Amino acid sequence: MAESAKSDSSADRVGYITRVQSFSACHRLHSALLSDEENKEVFGKCNNPHGHGHNYKEVMVRRKIDRVTGMVMNLTDLKRHIEDVIMTPLDHKNLDKDVPYFATVVSTTENLAVYIWDNMVKVLPPDALYEIKIHETDKNIVTYRGE
Point out the residues that are catalytic. Answer: 46, 92, 136
Beta-strand ranges (E) seen in the chain are 14-19, 23-27, 52-56, 59-64, 93-94, 129-135, 141-144
Measured distance CA(114)–CA(111) in Å, rounded:
5
Cβ pair 59, 115 in contact under 8 A? no
Cβ pair 101, 108 in contact under 8 A? no
